[in-house]
Amino acid sequence: MTGALLLMIGALVLSRKLSDMVSGTAIMSDHTVDVVIDAGHGGSDPGKVGINEVKEKDLNLAIAARVEALLEKRNISCKMTRTGDEGVSGDGEQSKIADMKARVQMINDLKPKLAVSIHQNSYPQEEVKGAQVFYFKHSKGGEAAALLMQTALKTLDESNHREAKANDTYYLLKKTEPPTIIVECGFLTNPEEAEKLAGEEYQNQVAEAIVSGIEVCLGKEEKKN
Ligand SMILES: [Zn+2]
């Protein structure tokens, strides 16, 4: 009896190991990196300009760079679409469409488990504020990631009742194959939020929240290896 039981357990362990190996190989070949971080705008495209004159492109890059550093510490592999104040298409004559296409191409080539595009929002009414996540309406993976990320961002402000929102027109969301979300960290038209976003302390807090959202999306807690 005991021998048969041991054999059964042995077979079970072996089959588990095999399936781990197979799925491990599949993951290796499918994804070259865990995450792509896209700092929106850059170069001749400033994005939104805040009530305090701060440019969206600069905030996006500052937060993206912090996210990258934190991911590295947690052993989550990451690629940035840009690391300096420039458009992504790289040619001198920067056009918005070439820039967007280059970002999409990069994400589709790298095949990350998740792509996170970092932006700042604006609205005609000053009082509107709060971080919000967008996903492509027809992407189940994007939707799931957006819901998890929105929850993670709530730690920045418990009074933020914004919910992850579906979208079917944003070029980046429509054209990327891996699950992609846009994180609008805050409103540059809200004086208080614009001021906070311009400061390093809050940029760090936003980056921490985004990284904890990414960890949940990647199921880091379950892996434990
Ligand atoms: Zn933007």
CATH classification code of 31-220: 3.40.630.40
- Torsion on CA atoms 137, 142, 144, 147, rounded to nearest 10: -80
- At 22 the pLDDT is 44
- At 29 the pLDDT is 53
- How far is residue 133's CA from residue 150's CA, in Å, rounded to a whole number? 6
Q: 45 CA distance to ligand 1 centroid (A)?
A: 10
Residue 78: beta bridge partners? 35
Q: 46 CA distance to ligand 1 centroid (A)?
A: 9
Q: Which residues of 23-59 are buried (b: 16+ CB within 10 A; e: fewer)?
A: eeeeeeeebebbbbbbbbbbbebebbbbbeebbbbbb
pLDDT in tens, 86-144: 999 865 566 889 999 999 999 999 999 999 999 999 999 999 999 999 999 999 999 99
Cα distance between the two ends of the chain: 33
Q: 183 CA distance to ligand 1 centroid (A)?
A: 9
- The predicted model scores a pTM of 0.85
Q: 164 CA distance to ligand 1 centroid (A)?
A: 17
Q: 217 CA distance to ligand 1 centroid (A)?
A: 23
Q: 9 CA distance to ligand 1 centroid (A)?
A: 55
Per-block mean pLDDT, blocks of 10 residues, the chain (225 long) = 59 47 49 96 95 97 98 97 90 79 97 98 97 98 98 96 97 98 98 98 98 94 50
Place of tokens 């208080």: 192
